[in-house]
Amino acid sequence: MTQTTDPVTQSVLVPLEPDAAFELFTDRFAEWWPKDSHHIRDSPAADAVLEPREGGRWYERSESGDECDWGAVLEIDRPNRILLAWQLTPEWKFDPDRANATEVEVTFNAEENGTRVTLEHRGFEVHGEPGAAMRELVGGDGGWAQLMELYKNAA
């Protein structure tokens, strides 16, 4: 029997047009991502990069210039949607095998007072039982809810 784990979904309304909301999330990723706390190396990241193009990388860079991948851009439809491969294991290590990746999809929908930005992180079942624990972490207090608030506050 295949274990199913519900996706984590977070949504915020930002006071920006979709183009600007998309640019802030992607091109200006390092401006809102908390590099001191959300990194997978032993020391804080000096930079966090999301290359907004299909096949682009999603990674952190240390002060010394060493890079550590988090995943890749699978699809991009600027300024409506970006789909990312999250290639981190439940132990927070990079796995180059995309068959083991979860997905992070972010959509940008115009509303009367700005843009509704909705993030869905799904596919935790690829990791079996440890995937449920990963889902709890990214769905918890320090996970996507906090990150989307940081994004919103940067708008």
Tell me the pLDDT tens digit for each residue of 27-48.
999 999 999 999 988 888 999 9
pLDDT digits (tens, 9 = 90+) for 103-150: 999 999 999 999 999 999 999 999 999 999 999 999 998 999 999 999
Structure tokens at 101: 């990746």
Write the CB contacts of 23 (distance below 8 Å, at least 6 apart in sequence): 79
Number of C-beta neighbours around residue 85 at 10 A: 20
* Beta strands per DSSP E along 30-113: 47-50, 57-61, 67-77, 81-86, 102-111
Q: Give helix then strand counts, H and E, for the chain.
A: 4, 7
> Where do we find the tokens 């000096």?
46
